[in-house]
Amino acid sequence: MIQIKINGVQQTFNGDSEMPLLWYLRDELKLTGTKFGCGIALCGACTVHKNGEAIRSCVVAMRDLSGAEITTIEGLESKGLHPVQQAWMRANVPQCGYCQPGQIMQAAAFLKNQKKPTDEQIDEAMSGNICRCGTYQRIRAAIKMAAEGSV
C-alpha cells in the first residue's frame, strides 16, 4: 500500500508497485493531461513534479513514491493559469500540443530555481523535452516571458 499525494489530494495505491506513475495517473486517476510518448524517459512528454522537481513519470515506479507529493499539469495552478501557462498562451507555443504539458511542467520546475535564465541555460534545461512540431523557438520565447514576468 502506497500513500501518495497527487495535486494536493491524498491517494492510496494498492496495485502493482512496479507500475510507473504515468499509468497510475492516466489509467486509474484519469489525469490524461500527462502524456505517454516513449516510455523510456527520452522524450519528456510525461514530465510531472515530484516534491517540486521535474521527473519522467513513465520510468518512476510507484514503489519509489511513498509519501511523495506529485503535481501534474492539471494541478500546476489551482486558480487560473500558472505564469508559464500564461506565457505559453501569449507566445502561442503549441501546434499539436501533445508534448506541451511535459514542456510546461519542465519549464515551471526550471524557473523555480533559475529566475533569469540565458538561452544556453534554457536549451540545456529543456533538451530532454522533444517537440515533433518543432516549437522550440516559441518555447524559449515563452520561458523568457515567464521569467521576465511580462505575461
Partner 1 sequence: MNLIENVSRRSFLKGMVSTGALVLGACYYPEILRADGLPKDTLADRATLHPNMFVGIDTDGTVQIVAHRSEMGTAIRTSLPLVVADELDADWKRVKIDQAIGDPRYGDQNTDGSHSIRSFYDVMRQAGASARFMLIQAAAQQWNVRPADCVTEPHVVIHRPSGRRLAYGDLAARAAKLPVPKKNQLQFKSPDQWRYIGKGMPSYDLADLCTGKAIYGMDARVDGMVYASIEHPPVFGGKVKSYDDKEALKVSGVRQTIAIDPFKPPPAFQPLGGIAVIADNTWSAFQGRKKLKVV
Rounded CA separation 126/5 (Å): 26
Report the alpha-carbon distance of residue 110 to residue 31 in Å, rounded.
Answer: 23
Report helix angle 83-90 to 100-113, nearest 10.
Answer: 130
Tell me which of 88, 110, 117, 139 binds partner 1, using CB under 8 A. 88
**Residue 35 Cβ vs partner 1, minimum distance, rounded to whole Å:** 8
Told to check if 97 binds partner 1 by CB under 8 A, we report yes
Ordered DSSP codes for 62-95:
GGGGTT-EEE-GGGS-SSS--HHHHHHHHTT--S
Closest CA to 7 of 84, 105, 96: 105
Q: Is 106 in the site for partner 1 (CB under 8 A)?
A: no
Q: Which of 4, 6, 13, 23 binds partner 1 (CB under 8 A)?
A: 23
Identity of the residue, 89 or 118, whose beta carbon is nearer to partner 1 in the bound complex: 89
Answer for which of 47, 57, 71, 100 binds partner 1 (CB under 8 A) is 100
Residue 97 is classified by DSSP as -
Q: Smaller CB distance to partner 1: residue 30 or 120?
A: 30
- Site residues (vs partner 1, CB under 8 A): 15-16, 19-20, 23, 26-28, 30-36, 39, 72-74, 81, 85, 88-89, 92-98, 100-101, 104, 133
